[in-house]
Amino acid sequence: MVTQTSTGELLAKRGSILPPFERIPKPRRRTELGLLVFVWVVISALYLLVALGAKNHLPAHAVAFLAVLAVISFSLNIINRWLAPHANALLVPLCVLLNGMGYVEIVRWNAHAAQAQAMWTALGVALYAATLLFVRRTRDLDRFRYIILLVAIILMLAPLFPVVGLNVNGARLWVSFGGPLVFQPVEIAKILLVIFFASYFADKKELLSIPTARIGNRLVISPKPLIPVFAMWLFAMAVLGLENDIGFAMLMFTLFIIMIWVATGRAFYLVIGAGLFILGAIFAYHYFGQVHQRVAIWLDPWQYAQAKGQQLVQSWYSLGSGGIGGAGLGLGQSGDIPYLTSDLIYVAIAEELGFMGSAVLVTTYTLIVGAGLNIAQRARSEFARLCAMGLTVILGFQAFYIFSGILRILPFTGITLPFVARGGSSLVANYILIALLSRISNETGPDWIEAETLRSADATLSVARS
């Protein structure tokens, strides 16, 4: 007689033979540790070489830097062993590599800013641990959907508040609480909006994908479930427009369209998104001076080479001088480019490391996006899947937009390059983002658990048939 056995029963039987996966050796953490050692060697070499190239001698605090780098890198491995033992092994080493490459270039051009970047990195690692400590299960985030939305709204509106809001270079994106502490709250708000969108789309998936409303003799998808989330998206776009933050407006638009497409599998959402993008771009071009200016520079940069387009034109000369192998660490000549270590740090890396260094940078982001998509694919709930997808979209498209803006594929947006560019708000937010991806990855368990389940099921069926 054939008996049916559930997956849970199979795992329970298997538990009497094999130890629980919480207690087994953790090969992912050993892999992560090995990669972190390799990254530590690479960043240490870059740091020493850039000092030799620029000053012809080793830096005075080289030993201290190598020790701090080791502490930060290996503490992440310890944190994961404690709080996320089965998380993806690639995410942390790749992010540390990007963080280290950016820090080396910041030290090269602005030693004072490098000190601040080091402190922000330490804070980012601390918040990475705090995120894993307090978010023990992703379903806890799903339960507080509207509280998270409320916090996101407050953070997005904060730069518009009097006294605390700051206007810098025409964009009102920062808040200040006195002294040197300046923060960009939209960096945290974008992560909270991902969580809200993931929770809402997971809850309304069927209503958004299955036609239930009738127009004449045809069934169509009811627009009612879209009204609240579409209103929230319009609100976000309006706030970002008031703050003159076109880059993040593009990022949030991309996030919204991709997440609803992934949640429903309906391609017509992409078509609607393309139409809305065209209409929004036309409107922004005519009514937002910053958008009009950046599109004009994008279409004919040489006309503005001595004015607003000077920053990009100079960066292209630096990119060209880098060639294949680069000018050499510490030997670049890009110091006169405005905002080199923030908006255009990719140019500084590409000049000194050449096309090969640029390829390493792009490949690293590609690997992070691939790891994020793999985490989303293996997630155990619809909410976790959409959340991982949204977080990956933010990271990937943020890098894509800044690369495209510098290379004149798209108008320049001024978005910071994740983990690489100077900017404490972005760095801290990205460490929180990676922590959430690690938590989702950890919940899938070790790689062998699904294979063991399938083998146990096959063995049970074989015995039952015999």
**Each residue of 281-302: pLDDT tens digit?**
788 788 777 788 888 888 888 8
Burial level of 161, CB count in 10 A (0-12/13-18/19+)? exposed
CA 75, CA 124: separation in Å to the nearest integer? 12
Distance CA 36, CA 455 (A): 34
**Mean pLDDT for the stretch of residues 34-48:** 94
Q: Residue 65 pLDDT > 70, yes or no?
A: yes
Mean pLDDT of the chain: 83
- Residue 174 pairs in a beta bridge with 166
Query: How confident is the model at residue 81, as a pLDDT?
Result: 92
Distances (CA, A) of 333 to 7, 318, 462: 62, 7, 70
Sequence-distant (6+) residues with CB within 8 A of 428 are 120, 123, 124, 127, 187
CA proximity to 100, closest of 68, 77, 131, 78: 68
Question: Distance between CA 328 and CA 54 in Å, rounded?
Answer: 10
Q: For residue 214, how many C-alpha atoms fall within 13 Å in the half-sphere facing its CB?
A: 2
Residue closest to 106 by CA, chosen among 115, 119, 97, 94: 115
Residue 107 clears pLDDT 80, i.e. is over it: yes
pTM for this model (two decimals): 0.87
Q: Judge whether 301 and 312 are in contact, CB under 8 Å.
A: yes
Q: How far apart are CA 152 and CA 241, in angstroms?
A: 16
What is the residue whose two structure tokens read 């991709």? 258
Average pLDDT over residues 72-93: 93
C-alpha to C-alpha distances, 7 to 272, 441, 451, 457, nearest whole angstrom:
41, 20, 12, 8
With cut-offs at 50, 70 and 90, classify the pLDDT of residue 240.
Answer: low
Q: Are 152 and 192 in contact (CB under 8 A)?
A: yes
Higher-confidence residue of 424 and 229: namely: 424
Q: How far is CA 155 from the centre of its chain?
A: 18
Residue 233, both tokens: 């998206």
Average pLDDT for 457-462: 57
Angle, in degrees to the nearest 10, between helices 345-378 and 310-322: 80
Q: How large is the angle between the packed helices 246-264 and 289-299, nearest 10 degrees?
A: 90
pLDDT at 361 > cutoff 50? yes
Is the confidence at residue 403, as pLDDT, over 70?
Answer: yes
Least confident window among 36-50, 109-123, 139-153, 268-282: 268-282
> Averaging pLDDT over each range in 54-58, 286-290, 430-434, which range is the top one?
430-434
407: Cα within 13 Å, side-chain hemisphere: 11
For residue 167, which phi and psi values (nearest 5 degrees)? -110, 115
